[in-house]
Amino acid sequence: MSHFSHIKTQIRDLNALQQALTELKLDWKAGPKDVRGYRGQVHQAAVVVEQDNGYDIGFSWNGQAYDLVADLQFWNQPIPVERFLSKITQQYAFQTVMQETAKQGFQVSEHQTQKDGSIRLVLQRWS
């Protein structure tokens, strides 16, 4: 029986996910790569964040989005999994907005991180 937990996300763009992980200063490896789990179990993922304890966190394509895959018994991050995923999701959304608005000719004129952690963007486009 697998010890891996699969947590559903709305993350669909691998490039934006990788940029989000980089912005959050997480050391990630591009896959396909094995996520290491309990008793040598492995699960293949598109992106893997190796933990110091020898158990990994990965993002695996489920056909619609990238699930977070990890053996949560061996979670070794300074914040709980829910907060970890929330930070990644926020940064992923930011990266997606930046990519899509750039395609449409917008530029960031103002970028502020608020006290509550939200991000305020002001975009402009000259026609």
pLDDT of residue 121: 85
- Please answer whether residues 35 and 57 qualify as being in contact, where contact means their C-beta atoms are separated by less than 8 angstroms: yes
Q: Is residue 127 part of a domain?
A: no
Torsion-angle region of residue 4: left (phi > 0), alpha (psi -120 to 50) or beta? beta
The CA-CA-CA angle for residues 108, 30, 52, to 5°, reads 100
Q: What is the pTM of this model?
A: 0.86
Q: Is residue 114 part of a domain?
A: no
Q: Is residue 115 part of a domain?
A: no
- Tokens describing residue 51: 């933990």
The CA-CA-CA angle for residues 93, 5, 28, to 5°, reads 50
Q: Is residue 103 part of a domain?
A: no
pLDDT of residue 127: 73
E strand or H helix at 90: helix 81-103
Residue 79 amino acid letter: I
Would you give per-residue pLDDT tens digits along the chain (127 residues)? 568 999 999 999 999 999 999 999 999 999 899 999 988 899 999 999 999 999 999 999 999 999 999 999 999 999 999 999 999 999 999 999 989 998 888 888 888 888 888 888 888 888 7
pLDDT of residue 84: 96
Domain hosting 72: range is 5-93
Q: Is residue 113 part of a domain?
A: no
Buried b or exposed e, range 71-82, using 16+ CB within 10 angstroms = beebbeeeeeee
Specify the number of domains making up the chain: 1
